[in-house]
Amino acid sequence: MGVSENRLYSDLIREGRLPMREQMAYFEKLRSLHVPASDGLALLDRARAVDPDPADAIGPRGKR
């Protein structure tokens, strides 16, 4: 499908297509990895600094 597993689950959850039991099992799997928050923050520090897409804005100028 050309998308990561995390993206697939995120889309399924957002669209309400993944049953609650499966959502809970997926999040439990993520928690069991015991990845420190500092590792996630370090990964974010490596990301390029880009302006967000205006369509992603929340508020009067955004579409949401």
Give residue-wise pLDDT tens across range 18-61: 788 888 888 898 889 888 989 989 988 998 888 878 887 777 65
The amino acid at residue 15 is E
Compute CA distances 19 → 8, 24, 29, 49, whole Å: 14, 9, 16, 35
Query: Do residues 15 and 23 touch, judged by C-beta distance below 8 A?
Result: no
* Domain residue limits at 26: 5-47
User: So what's the pLDDT on residue 3?
Assistant: 79
Number of structural domains the chain divides into:
1
User: So what's the pLDDT on residue 17?
Assistant: 80
Residue 53 lies in a domain: no
User: So what's the pLDDT on residue 26?
Assistant: 84
User: So what's the pLDDT on residue 62?
Assistant: 47
Residue 52 lies in a domain: no
pTM: 0.39
Residue 18 lies in a domain: yes
User: What is 2-63 written as a DSSP string?
Assistant: -S-HHHHHHHHHHTT-S-HHHHHHHHHHHHHT---HHHHHHHHHTS---PPPGGG--STTS-
User: So what's the pLDDT on residue 32?
Assistant: 92
